[in-house]
Homo-oligomer: A and B are copies of this chain.
Amino acid sequence: MRIAEKPPTVTDAASPCLPPPLPLDDQLCFAIYSAAHAMNRVYKPLLEPLGLTYPQYLVLLVLWQTDDVTVKDLGSRLFLDSGTLTPLLKRMEAAGLVTRRRDTADERLVRVTLTPDGRALRDRAGAVQQAVGCASGLDAAAMGALHRALTELRDGLKGT
């Protein structure tokens, strides 16, 4: 079952015991991979004036919704672990955007909170989202369908 139309160059002989690998451009994984990088390349120049990387922007999205969360909470929301988040949060703390301190009741937990500077960046995020939405070139319905399909795929893969 091919995902896209038959590619021009490669001709598959009638299926042997093991099928030969699908060509690159027919594979869903590469469509996701390359779209993710393309998206990151759009965000990068928009976030640079805010002094943010894309993952740092995601952390702020969480904190703007729910301030004062643990590293574990952040990780479960962003699907990242402490190996990624700890140094990232330290850089954000050094930049004055968040504070990190141990929970007094349970000293295993590190609670992450917004500083006024981190909270202030919220105002400039709307323009970033708007710019990316325009750049996507998709209408709202297509974006919605894409969003649902990707979320379903991600959650399906997670269980596996």
A interface with B by C-beta (< 8 Å): 1-4, 7-12, 14-15, 18-43, 54, 58, 61-62, 64-68, 77-79, 116, 119-120, 122-123, 125-130, 132, 135-138, 140, 142-154, 156-158, 160
Interface centre among A23, A123, A136 (most CB of B within 10 A): A123
Cβ–Cβ contact B135 & A156, under 8 A? yes
Report which of B4, B136, B152 forms a contact with A144, defined as CB distance below 8 A.
B4
Cβ–Cβ contact A149 & B157, under 8 A? no
Report which of B58, B127, B153, B160 forms a contact with A30, defined as CB distance below 8 A.
B58
Cβ–Cβ contact B34 & A35, under 8 A? no
A69 to chain B, nearest CB (A): 10
Contact residues in B for A119 (Cβ distance below 8 Å): 7-8, 11
Distance in angstroms between the alpha carbons of A61 and B156 in the assembled complex = 25
